[in-house]
Structure 1
């Protein structure tokens, strides 16, 4: 906020009079001086105030705008031209999306709305989702302008190149929450201002933030970023830390290619015994290099030998592996994912892949959140088009919206199956000795079932098992007979005869 202060005209009049009189005061000036002095204070708010920052800094963790642009250009160039950089981006995309993904909601009508949005020819999620996930990792951010049919509430998504984003405006009271996108000016000097969609009511923001959001009048958009900090406004590329090393790795391999060419080079060295300088020069003018398969005849005064360079270079494979592992280690990818199978067997390969799978799971959660966030907006938009408030049952439907992911890798389930059998036998004995409850026992089974990719709601599953047991006249759960009613008590002993 700019604060402008201006001294009153009376002050400057008295100042000039005092200066002209050498500091003496007349009666009029004395009377004038006794009048109260008030300063005019004004405040103004610029239309682009949200794009300014203090010179002293305010804890930002962003790259400079030119550096941000350069990062995106270099990341794109390396992805196109560097095989290793391409794999660093493409492998996560393949592991996340090779089996496909869908949005699922537990309501038939809502599912039809989502499916119509998903299969729309412009949205084309099955085709465009890999591109969007790829560019999310490549550029560190993605922005999708929204085009909404006001009559039907149908939603289509556009695409805004991160290269044209000038500023990401955040909530003044909550810096980690983006509220608007300002683009760079086009050739006509026009910049667009998009309001970031947040799936909360506008009343969730304070009055000042709502005023700022009201200035973004060119449409709405979704904005997502990765590799950022809470105090940053822009995302970072997955290749930011590796880009220099990727370039060095390329230069190293091209250098080895040149060295291999030099090693294959050779020349003929001809020795003339007893020849003087004139004879050597004459021979040099007439000599020609023999062709492959030709015949060369000479006496014992002429000797022909081949000479090739001896560069005495270090082992190129060890150097290449050093560079490659340094780059891939920074990206949490094992070397055997890029053809480096030295000293790697199945056991070590599985253990080396586990950190990578954890990193992929984190990215999977981010992409899943993006899809669910967009899906919620699609459903809300369709319901809002009907001109009614969100009903409680519709809010419950939104809570069931999920993004189920298929398994990224095929796991060896034999050890999990064996462990599950052992756990089942062990907890059956505990239940028989009344040392553990059935609910706790089922939680132990669920913990192992998660390893097999099976999700079990313990309370719901236990209730269903008890109901099935009651309907079927009894059954077994974990090897123990289920009882829906307490066992009958033993009959009381008959009273002794009165004359006993």
Structure 2
């Protein structure tokens, strides 16, 4: 049984998502807010092997790749369309890699490994005007013989138009295509827009009025005659009449209650489904600073999950760049677990750290572990590990084992200096003089 949308539904999903992102404020924020938190301060891709960093930097800054500029676009479209396909172009002489772009609308079929349904192995495009479809082999970092069966390798050999990266979100293990972040809330954000436009029309009606003129003692003929003669007064004009004529401005009473709660209901239904707090979209509610911070935690967990996937995407690209460099230099395919292929994608902190509480916690932990060591209830190694944990929350990474060794060495040096001073008092003062 297929777990994918039909081709027509896939097309409609993409078009609807693009339209809503472009024209609907709420849908736009659902896409742009995570993007800003995950990439707002930039991303860095670092090779573990310093000798490979030059290839990574060259790939990142390439005039065609321009990853600092294009990465936000790629991540945005991954959320909008649910999938991204980037063909690669490799310089056979030096292994330099450049990325292309394949519009998801041009993907006809994604072929999966017949022996492993969750592994895509190829992408087939729709036919062009000449009736030709391109067949791209999905990149999997490693030697084909180590990764696929002979049957799968034979299928992959039929994809002769180059290699491509293919990534999906909001999919299942047995899905071949991804789904947009806006697929589920699409109807609701559109309904919210219609609701607000309806409210604008209602307020226009509420501002409308008519002049109701009452003429005391007039028969129907006189009323008709007066109706032909009367004119609506202009602003600032003067109107003169006797006590038999009464003018009154009448506004419509359409018996419509306060719709603010209705708007909040619709908005929160959409925002809640997207794990975005109400106060992030202009709704204050009963939120204060304390509850606001706690309400943001599920949101940041959701953003972190997507950021972790983006980390995999970038590190996979980095491994591919190094693979191509090594293949060009040694004319051989490196093993998938070659240590030289290791790269790390470094993302910024999504929120500014509240260092005050961590600083207070650090002081309490240091005091506590010192007492525990004096009482013989804890080893120094465990104590330093606890301190390192809190220091990590302040952005300082400590290797507990190395730190303990350095601390013991520094303490020994201090004792040695103190012993020298005790044995030869005044020597340091004479040296200084």
Report the TM-score when normalising by structure 2. Answer: 0.92
Give the alignment partner of residue 427 of structure 1, picking from 354, 363, 369.
369
In our comparison, the structure showing a higher alpha carbon Rg is 1
Give the alignment partner of residue 444 of structure 1, picking from 386, 408, 416.
386
Residues 369, 310 of structure 1: CA spacing in aligned structure 2 closer, same or farther, 3 A cutoff? same
State the alpha-carbon separation in 2 of the partners of residues 121 and 473 from structure 1.
Answer: 58
Give the alignment partner of residue 176 of structure 2, picking from 215, 229, 233.
233
Aligned partner of 1:117 in structure 2 is: 59
Give the deviation of 1:396 after TM superposition. 2.3
Check if 1:147 corresponds to 2:89.
yes
- Is contact 2:45–2:56 with CA below 8 Å preserved after alignment? yes
Aligned partner of 1:85 in structure 2 is: 27
Give the deviation of 1:473 after TM superposition. 5.5
* 1:332-343 mapped onto 2 (5 Å cutoff): 332-343=275-286
State the alpha-carbon separation in 2 of the partners of residues 121 and 325 from structure 1.
Answer: 43
State the alpha-carbon separation in 2 of the partners of residues 69 and 79 from structure 1.
Answer: 16
Aligned partner of 1:99 in structure 2 is: 41
Aligned partner of 1:187 in structure 2 is: 129
Give the alignment partner of residue 349 of structure 2, picking from 395, 407, 410.
407
Check if 1:325 corresponds to 2:268.
yes
Task: Provide Cα deviations, 1:187-243, integer angstroms capped at 9, x if missing partner.
Answer: 222211100000121011001111111111111000111111111111111111100
Q: Higher helix proportion, which one?
A: 2
State the alpha-carbon separation in 1 of the partners of residues 125 and 413 from structure 2.
Answer: 65
Consecutive unaligned residues in structure 1, runs of 5 or more: 1-56, 476-500
- Is contact 2:48–2:344 with CA below 8 Å preserved after alignment? no
State the alpha-carbon separation in 2 of the partners of residues 105 and 462 from structure 1.
Answer: 28
Consecutive unaligned residues in structure 2, runs of 5 or more: 418-433
Give the deviation of 1:471 after TM superposition. 6.0
Equivalences, count: 415
Check if 1:375 corresponds to 2:315.
no
State the alpha-carbon separation in 2 of the partners of residues 135 and 113 from structure 1.
Answer: 26
Aligned partner of 1:288 in structure 2 is: 231
State the alpha-carbon separation in 2 of the partners of residues 301 and 452 from structure 1.
Answer: 82
Residues 234, 454 of structure 1: CA spacing in aligned structure 2 closer, same or farther, 3 A cutoff? farther
Bigger shift: 162-171 or 248-257? 162-171
Aligned partner of 1:74 in structure 2 is: 16
State the alpha-carbon separation in 2 of the partners of residues 370 and 377 from structure 1.
Answer: 11
Check if 1:161 corresponds to 2:109.
no
Give the deviation of 1:286 after TM superposition. 1.5
State the alpha-carbon separation in 1 of the partners of residues 306 and 409 from structure 2.
Answer: 40
Give the deviation of 1:426 after TM superposition. 0.9
- Is contact 2:142–2:333 with CA below 8 Å preserved after alignment? no
Residues 472, 149 of structure 1: CA spacing in aligned structure 2 closer, same or farther, 3 A cutoff? farther
State the alpha-carbon separation in 1 of the partners of residues 272 and 54 from structure 2.
Answer: 44
SS at match of 1:179: strand
State the alpha-carbon separation in 2 of the partners of residues 172 and 287 from structure 1.
Answer: 85
SS at match of 1:347: helix
Task: Provide Cα deviations, 1:56-111, integer angstroms capped at 9, x if missing partner.
Answer: x3xx3211111111111101110000001000000011001111111012443311
Give the deviation of 1:450 after TM superposition. 3.0
Give the alignment partner of residue 305 of structure 2, picking from 362, 382, 388.
362
Give the alignment partner of residue 258 of structure 1, picking from 201, 204, 225.
201
State the alpha-carbon separation in 1 of the partners of residues 201 and 308 from structure 2.
Answer: 45
SS at match of 1:410: coil
Give the alignment partner of residue 351 of structure 1, picking from 294, 301, 306.
294
- Is contact 2:326–2:334 with CA below 8 Å preserved after alignment? no
Aligned partner of 1:312 in structure 2 is: 255
Residues 470, 177 of structure 1: CA spacing in aligned structure 2 closer, same or farther, 3 A cutoff? farther
Aligned partner of 1:28 in structure 2 is: none
Give the deviation of 1:277 after TM superposition. 2.0
State the alpha-carbon separation in 2 of the partners of residues 469 and 385 from structure 1.
Answer: 51
Cα-Cα RMSD: 1.8
Give the deviation of 1:467 after TM superposition. 4.8
Residues 315, 161 of structure 1: CA spacing in aligned structure 2 closer, same or farther, 3 A cutoff? same
State the alpha-carbon separation in 2 of the partners of residues 169 and 471 from structure 1.
Answer: 65
State the alpha-carbon separation in 2 of the partners of residues 72 and 454 from structure 1.
Answer: 43
Give the deviation of 1:172 after TM superposition. 1.1
Give the deviation of 1:284 after TM superposition. 1.4
Give the alignment partner of residue 418 of structure 1, picking from 360, 368, 376.
360
Give the deviation of 1:340 after TM superposition. 1.1
Report the TM-score when normalising by structure 1. Answer: 0.80
- Is contact 2:369–2:383 with CA below 8 Å preserved after alignment? yes
Give the deviation of 1:464 after TM superposition. 4.1
Task: Provide Cα deviations, 1:334-387, integer angstroms capped at 9, x if missing partner.
Answer: 011111122111101100001111111111111111111001111111111113
Give the deviation of 1:469 after TM superposition. 4.8
SS at match of 1:187: coil
SS at match of 2:112: strand
State the alpha-carbon separation in 1 of the partners of residues 265 and 175 from structure 2.
Answer: 33
State the alpha-carbon separation in 2 of the partners of residues 317 and 177 from structure 1.
Answer: 48
